[in-house]
Amino acid sequence: MTYVDLNHIEEKEVVPGFFGKFIHSDNITIAYWRIAAGSILPEHKHPHE
C-alpha cells in the first residue's frame, strides 16, 4: 500500500465553501473534505453510481 501525506495534496474548492483533497486509484477516489460553516451543498448526483 502506498502512503499518502495529505499535507502534500492541493486543496480544491469544488463548490463555494467545500474544499476537497482527492486521492485517485485505478478503482476508487477518496475525498477528504473541509466544509466552511454555513455552506450549502447544491443538489447533485453521480450518474455512474
pLDDT tens, 2-22? 889 999 999 999 999 999 999
Question: Given the C-alpha cell 473534505, which residue does it identify?
Answer: 33
Q: What would you report as the CA-atom Rg of the chain, rounded to the nearest whole angstrom?
A: 13
| Domains in the chain: boundaries | 6-35
d(CA 7, CA 49): 29
Give residue 45's pLDDT. Answer: 86
Instruction: Give the pLDDT mean for 28-41.
Output: 95
Sheet holding 12-15, edge to edge: 12-15, 18-24, 29-35
Residues 8, 40: Cα–Cα separation, whole Å:
27
Q: What is the pTM of this model?
A: 0.77
Identity of residue 32: Y
Reported as a single tens digit per residue, the pLDDT across 35-45 is 999 999 989 88
Mean of the pLDDT values across residues 13-35? Answer: 94
* Distance, CA of 12 to CA of 33 (rounded, Å): 10
Q: What is residue 7's predicted lDDT score, i.e. its pLDDT?
A: 95
